[in-house]
Amino acid sequence: MMTTAGFIVRIIFAVLLVFGIYNPSGYSYYDWLVGDQGHWTVKLFGASVLAFLLFIHAQATWRSMKLIGILLVLSVVSSFGWVLWDFGVIDLTDPTTRSLGLLSTVAMVLGAGQSWSLVRYRLSGQVDSQNLIA
């Protein structure tokens, strides 16, 4: 069942996944991978888990929104970033800000993709067969 809390949890999970893989702060899987600490088998296991989670998110996003939906979400998030830049809230000349903006955009697309099929069912009034069993 789709709730606002469920939508927010899906967005948060997508943000944690994307920023866990890479972020400019220096605390990410990428930084751990290229660093000297840790055993290579543990790093390989971490890569496998992250690749699996990313694949699940990307596949769910593609199946629920297709190309046009993904482009529409990209358009909304990108234009919001443009408005923030236009009003001087963010500085896109800073590479860290650009990196954070790009990562946030990817996370928003993945998070919206996780929730979109539930939103579509709610808006259209369709009934999911799993909801009939109670």
115 within a domain of the structure (yes/no): yes
**Residue 124 burial (CB count, 10 A):** 8
Q: Kindly report, residue by residue over 78-113, the tens digit of the pLDDT.
A: 999 999 999 999 999 999 999 999 999 999 999 999
Pair 16, 114: CB distance under 8 Å: no
- Whether residue 16 is predicted with pLDDT greater than 70 in this model: the reply is yes
At 133 the pLDDT is: 58
Write out pLDDT tens, residues 40-80. Answer: 999 999 999 999 999 999 999 999 999 999 999 999 999 99
Alpha-carbon span 112 to 119, nearest angstrom? 9
Q: How far is CA 34 from CA 18, 25, 26, 52, 107, in A?
A: 17, 14, 11, 20, 23
The answer to whether residue 118 is domain-embedded is yes
pLDDT digits (tens, 9 = 90+) for 115-129: 887 777 777 777 655
Q: Tell me the residue type at 80.
A: F
d(CA 100, CA 28): 13
Amino acid at 133: I
Of 34, 33, 30, 47, give the one whose Cα is nearest residue 103.
30
CB neighbourhood size of 112 (10 A)? 24
Please state the pTM of the whole predicted model.
0.85
72 within a domain of the structure (yes/no): yes
In a domain, 117, yes or no: yes
Q: What's the rounded Cα separation, in Å, for the pair 128 and 134?
A: 12
> What pLDDT score does 105 carry?
96
Give the model's pLDDT for residue 122. 75
Domain count, the chain: 1
Q: Is residue 1 part of a domain?
A: no
Within a domain: 134: no
Measured between alpha carbons, how far is 95 from 73 in angstroms, rounded to an integer?
23
Question: Which pLDDT band, with edges at 50, 70 and 90, does 34 fall under?
Answer: very high
Tell me, yes or no, whether 26 lies in a domain: yes
Asked if residue 84 belongs to a domain, the reply is yes
Residue 119 domain boundaries? 8-125
